[in-house]
Amino acid sequence: MRRVQRPRPTIWRIGRAGRPRPAANDIDWYFVAQDNEIDSRFEASFRVSGRQPEIWDAVTGEIHPANVWREENGRTIVTFDFPPSGSTFVVFREKKAGKHLVKAEVNVAKSAKKVEPPAKKHKLVIKKAEYGLFPGMEVPPGGITDKHRIDVTKLLADRVKDGTINVDVGVGLARRDPAFRFHKITRIEYEYDGVTYKVDRGEGARFRVPDNPALREPEWEWRDGKVLAWKPLTAKLRDSDGAVRTVSANPVEAIGVTGAWDVSFPQGWDAPAQAVFPKLVSWSESRDAGIKYFSGTATYRKSFKLEVGSGKLEVGSPNQRIMLDLGEVKNFAEVTVNGKKFPVLWKPPFRVDITEAVKTASVQQQGVLDLEIRVTNLWPNRLIGDEVLCKPDCEWLALPRRGSFEYPIKEIPQWVKDGKPSPTGRRTFTTWRHWTKDDKPLPSGLVGPVVIRFGEMAK
């Protein structure tokens, strides 16, 4: 896993439980989080000694000893291996006992074969970017002039790399404040793959294109205190007693789930009841307006032939695991494999261990996986769709606020008070207008690529 320096992990000390103090039953609690976009390995030092660090995973509910840690100068240093947007509780409550790992060096072999399609090359051009005050914002004495804005076009353009950018904008980027004590924004016009966009970002906000960075293929993870390899690797492990051992693994290569998917949509939202997606794409790219502007839950279904009898794959072996990797999902997914339902996936990486579902007799005999994936997106797409497809059915006010306009409803329309549907055919109603017909629908649905990955315990 790649070690990243920024953003730095944040550590909160939640408190100490137990009385009297100091005493053997005192418990120290910490929460560690990192806004990382890719897998991250880092160390964190805690002002605790003589006790075993425990990892309490709030996502899975699992509790286990820290995999790698050591003591130095009265402090405990724990090594963390975080997935994207990683976080965990760290609890010190038990006296340390027995040996444990103090260091792990993992070397992953480069794979010649990739199951994902080659990454598309994108072109990003920053056309114009300014930081400061703009018409409609709070006006300083004498009015808004050019001196209240700083051109940061080149500063942003210099940060574009391989058609991407990820930077915090504001006074830190501009390096000076053009309007002290006034709320300012960064107004950016850019071209991405030939399409022009205009966006405003508040002070210190992040400007990122594309908004959804591609996830890296998983390489390895800790599982029950052991190295579970998803790629061929060798690991050098050092114990607290000084002993050094080397383990290795050479798992079966991953398989891409390709071909068409059957997708069903609920009634009453203008999307077709049934659709066939020849390949996985965002709903927002569909030519069917009912799908393009759909908001809600759609169900993907596919039967997939898994060649379980070939190669080194042994279904049921305690040393092997099978993962369903959904790739990019917008925004939530609920996976069912051969009738076995798994917990909802709500953040990247959208991956689930399906080993137990694959162990069924039917799969071992016929090698068929029945996949059902319920995917739910966000509301803006239908709100935008109603603006595009339907006539107005209420009036809005335009109130200037902090550099832009807000649009509250002028009056609740009579059809809402009467509990009737909109006379214009709109499917949604809000008392605040956040989206217009000029906004683009958000990426939605199962975008993929979907991959079956095979893991092997290193030994």
Would you say residue 24 has pLDDT above 50? no
pLDDT of residue 227: 96
Q: Say what the pLDDT of residue 439 is.
A: 86
pTM: 0.80
**Domain shared by 144 and 25, yes or no:** no
Report if residue 35 sits inside a domain.
yes
Residues 162 and 71 occupy one common structural domain: no
pLDDT at 98: 84
**Domain contains 135:** yes
Question: Which pLDDT does position 60 carry in this prediction?
Answer: 86
129, 57: one domain: no
* Amino acid 456: pLDDT: 94
Statement to judge: residues 143 and 291 lie in one domain: no
Specify the CATH number for the domain of residue 91: 2.60.40
Residues 415 and 331 in one domain: no
Mean pLDDT of 197-221: 82
Does residue 128 lie within any of the structural domains?
yes
pLDDT class of 363 with cuts at 50, 70, 90: low
For the segment 333-339, the average pLDDT, to the nearest whole number, is 95
Do 187 and 277 belong together in one domain?
A: no
- Mean per-residue pLDDT, 42-53: 93
Using the 3D structure, point to which of 81, 97, 113 is the last residue of a domain.
Answer: 97
56 is in which domain, residue-wise?
10-97
- Is 175 found in the same domain as 63? no
Same structural domain, 331 and 195? no
Instruction: Please check whether residues 159 and 78 belong to one and the same domain.
Output: no
pLDDT of residue 306: 78
Residues 183 and 275 in one domain: no
- Whether residue 126 contacts residue 157, with contact meaning beta carbons closer than 8 Å, is answered with yes
The number of folded domains in the chain is 4
